[in-house]
Amino acid sequence: MFMMKNVLRNLLSRNATRKYPYVRREPFPDYRGPVQIDAEKCILCGICAKKCPSQCIAIDPKEGTWDLDLLACVYCASCVEACPKQCLSMGKEHPAPRLGHDHLVVYGTGKKKKARAEAGGKTDAPASETEK
């Protein structure tokens, strides 16, 4: 009987959840969204990759790439705090739902392969970043 009261109350009350991603709540002030990088400042030193508990950052100094596995990131901000160039930050937007291991790939400065940044890439990322 006690349970029936709860069932009826829940049936007649408004939803407690939102239909994300169609309905999005405004992020709280200290909300941590997806990691953002200012590619121009990155020196590919690798400190962020060493500090990342999820091991989701891969750096290839030869290729000049900084690669983040967007699904594996746990939004801890350790990389942001460790970066000596302050080129990482936590975004303020809710991340898009993901089905697989999409990567944010950035071509850093000071490396030969920066020119590859101009050679294509995806849609909603800045010129020197691609998602794949």
Which residue, 73, 60, 132, is CA-closest to 103? 132
Locus of tokens 């000596």: 84
Q: Which one among 31, 36, 43, 92 touches ligand SF4, defined by CB under 6 A? A: 43
Indicate the residue among 83 and 117 with the shorter CB distance to ligand SF4: 83
Site for ligand SF4 in 4-33 (CB under 6 A): none
Indicate the residue among 5 and 112 with the shorter CB distance to ligand SF4: 112
Indicate the residue among 5 and 62 with the shorter CB distance to ligand SF4: 62
Between CA 99 and CA 69 the distance in angstroms is 12
Site for ligand SF4 in 50-79 (CB under 6 A): 51-54, 56-57, 59, 66, 68, 73-79
Spatial neighbors of 62 by CB under 8 A, at least 6 apart, are: 111, 113
Between CA 127 and CA 105 the distance in angstroms is 11
Query: Cis link prior to 53 (omega < 30° from 0)?
Result: no
104 binds ligand SF4 (CB under 6 A): no
Angle at 95 between CA 108 and CA 42, to 5 degrees: 15
Indicate the residue among 10 and 55 with the shorter CB distance to ligand SF4: 55
Report the interface residues with ligand SF4, using CB under 6 A: 35, 37, 42-48, 51-54, 56-57, 59, 66, 68, 73-79, 83, 85, 87-88
